[in-house]
Structure 1
Amino acid sequence: MPIFIGALIGALIQVLGTLVGKILVSLGIGYAVYSGVDASITFARDYFISSMNGLGGNAVAVAGTMKVGTCVSILTSAITTRLTINGLTSGTMKKFVMK
């Protein structure tokens, strides 16, 4: 008899978990997961730096004087920090959403 009760409780827990999930989804409540965020930031930074290589010598000298590389580094660091504060972990960001 105790085995039957244990199996019954286990089955009720599984059904309750899916039922709660279905109710939350039907109410429009859930989690959105954004993946590849860190890869897109790295791609944008690398694309900008590689685009700088196509400029002429004078334009590169002016960009170096204006510290454009440092500016790009500061901007990407600030974006990454803000995303980390908002919940970015291991390249994915989970966010509570309501429709």
Structure 2
Amino acid sequence: MPAFIAALMGALINIAGTLVGRVLISLGLSVVTFTGLSATLDWAKNNVVSSFSSLPPEVVGMLSMLGVGEFLSIILSAVSARMVLQGLTGGAVKKWVLK
């Protein structure tokens, strides 16, 4: 008997899930997934590092005196923190949107 109740509850949960999903879709709500955000952040960081390595030593010294390295670190850390707060999981952010 408990197996029958468990199966019945599982079926009811599946039906309720699809029913809620259909109601949300009919209201115009949907989920949008943004992928490749962590790859884009890594690409930007690698581009900055490769651009700095091609500069003459005098310019690199001047930029380090101005604190450009710390500035870039703060900006990239803020973008990473923002992605984590928005729900970055596995390189993708899922957001509910209203159409």
| TM-score bracket for the superposition, by shorter chain length | 0.7 to 0.9
How far the C-alpha of 1:72 sits from its partner, in A, is 1.0
Say how many residue pairs are matched: 98
Give the match for residue 54 of structure 1.
54
Report the AA paired with residue 38 of structure 2. Answer: D
Q: Distance in 2 between matches of 1:95 and 1:75?
A: 23
Identity of aligned residues (%): 39
TM-score, normalised by the number of residues in structure 1: 0.74
TM-score by length of 2: 0.74
Listed one character per residue, the Cα deviations across residues 36-78 of structure 1 (whole Å, up to 9, x for unaligned) are 1111111101101111112122211101212212221111111
Show the counterpart of 1:79: 79
Mark the runs of 5 or more structure 2 residues left unpaired by the alignment.
Answer: 1-6
Corresponding position of 2:3: none
Q: Aligned partner of 1:81: which letter? A: A
1:29 aligns with 29
Provide the residue aligned with 2:38 in structure 1.
38
Q: Deviations over 1:8-39 (max 9, x none)?
A: x9888766655654453343211111111111
Moved over 4 A (4+): 9-20
- Which residues of structure 1 form unaligned runs of 5+? 1-6
CA-based RMSD of the aligned residues comes to 2.7
